[in-house]
């Protein structure tokens, strides 16, 4: 009773100090504490605990419904004399402790959830940063590839040239060295063979040409001789029958034609031997003296002697006949 009186006197004294019916902030801070309004998680269990305590105290203060006599207060000296009330009191205290522990566990779980959310946010931020870094790296790689593309092309060309040189040096050069001497000797053998054949053919050609020239001049000589002979008789016949001056015509024709014939003949042979000397030197060198002396000897000895003799006889005969 004394404790209850003291409590009631203290509450009445505190309420008498309130100047206005409104609750001041100082009173709230004094009774509930400054952190009550700041954290709702701490305010809710405080209110629940206070309501439970007030309800239990009211039940024990009334002493029950069926009791004929009023019960003493909870914290009175007489209340502790009953053991079941002390057990209930302990059970209430244990329940309050359990509630407090559950509330603390909830708070811890909430804190853990908040920490997990913060970690997830941090991880998302890190992932975003990593993605940005990857994008930057990709952009840098693309820029470097674009910048290094000509260098890479040049490097590829150099490698290709090195491969070609390697192939050329180790394969083509080997094949070239292997077949070069065979081809070289085969070519020179064929060349000398062809050269020998060419000279053989050339020699044969020269020989045949000289032989042909010899026969050609031989036949030309006889042909020209006979042509001259027939032409001379024809001209003399013409002169004798048409001009009636056989002696003058004959002498004139004889000297004129003889001079023209020698001039043309030597000029022609001079030109021919000059041409023959420059273009067919070997044939001229080997067969010139023999052919020349033999031909001159044969020509002067046979042809001219016979020609003069015959013309002298012919002239004498015609002169005698004309006379």
Per-residue pLDDT of the chain (323 residues; tens, 9 = 90+): 444 454 455 445 444 444 444 545 554 454 454 444 445 555 566 666 666 676 666 655 555 444 444 555 555 545 445 566 677 777 888 888 888 899 999 999 999 999 999 999 999 999 999 999 999 999 998 888 888 888 888 888 888 888 887 777 666 666 566 555 555 555 555 555 555 545 455 555 555 555 555 555 555 555 555 555 555 555 555 444 444 444 444 444 444 445 445 555 554 555 555 554 455 555 555 555 555 655 555 555 555 555 555 555 555 555 555 54
- Does the reported pTM lie above 0.85? no
Q: How far is CA 291 from CA 222, 273, 284, in A?
A: 16, 12, 9
Contacts of 250 (CB under 8 A, 6+ apart): 236, 239, 315, 318
Looking at residue 82, its pLDDT comes to 58
257 burial type by CB count under 10 A (0-12 exposed, 13-18 middle, 19+ buried): middle
Q: Look at residues 94, 96, 13, 20 and name the one whose alpha carbon lies nearest to residue 54.
A: 96
Q: Look at residues 186, 226, 198, 210 and name the one whose alpha carbon lies nearest to residue 283.
A: 210
- How far apart are the C-alpha atoms of 211 and 186, rounded to whole Å? 36
- How far apart are the C-alpha atoms of 87 and 65, rounded to whole Å? 20
Instruction: Answer yes or no: are the C-beta atoms of 232 and 265 closer than 8 Å.
Output: no
């Amino acid at each position: 009773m004394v404790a209850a009186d003291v409590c009631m006197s203290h509450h009445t004294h505190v309420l008498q100090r309130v100047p206005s019916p409104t609750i001041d902030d100082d009173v709230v801070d004094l009774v509930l504490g400054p952190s009550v309004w700041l954290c709702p998680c701490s305010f809710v269990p405080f209110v629940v605990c206070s309501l439970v305590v007030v309800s239990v105290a009211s039940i024990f203060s009334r002493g029950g419904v069926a009791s004929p006599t009023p019960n003493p207060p909870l914290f009175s000296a007489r209340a502790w004399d009953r053991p079941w009330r002390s057990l209930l009191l302990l059970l209430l205290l244990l329940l309050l402790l359990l509630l407090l522990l559950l509330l603390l566990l909830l708070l811890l779980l909430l804190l853990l959830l908040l920490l997990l959310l913060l970690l997830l946010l941090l991880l998302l931020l890190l992932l975003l940063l990593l993605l940005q870094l990857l994008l930057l790296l990709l952009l840098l790689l693309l820029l470097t590839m674009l910048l290094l593309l000509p260098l890479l092309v040049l490097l590829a060309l150099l490698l290709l040239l090195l491969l070609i040189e390697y192939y050329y040096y180790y394969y083509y050069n080997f094949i070239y060295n292997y077949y070069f001497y065979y081809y070289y000797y085969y070519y020179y053998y064929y060349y000398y063979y062809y050269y020998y054949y060419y000279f053989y053919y050339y020699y044969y050609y020269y020989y045949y040409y000289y032989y042909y020239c010899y026969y050609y001049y031989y036949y030309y000589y006889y042909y020209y001789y006979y042509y001259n002979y027939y032409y001379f008789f024809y001209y003399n016949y013409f002169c004798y029958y048409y001009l009636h001056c056989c002696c003058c015509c004959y002498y004139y024709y004889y000297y004129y034609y003889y001079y023209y014939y020698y001039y043309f003949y030597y000029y022609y042979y001079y030109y021919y031997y000059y041409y023959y000397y420059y273009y067919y030197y070997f044939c001229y060198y080997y067969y010139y003296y023999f052919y020349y002396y033999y031909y001159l000897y044969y020509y002067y000895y046979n042809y001219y002697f016979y020609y003069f003799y015959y013309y002298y006889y012919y002239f004498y005969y015609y002169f005698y006949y004309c006379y």
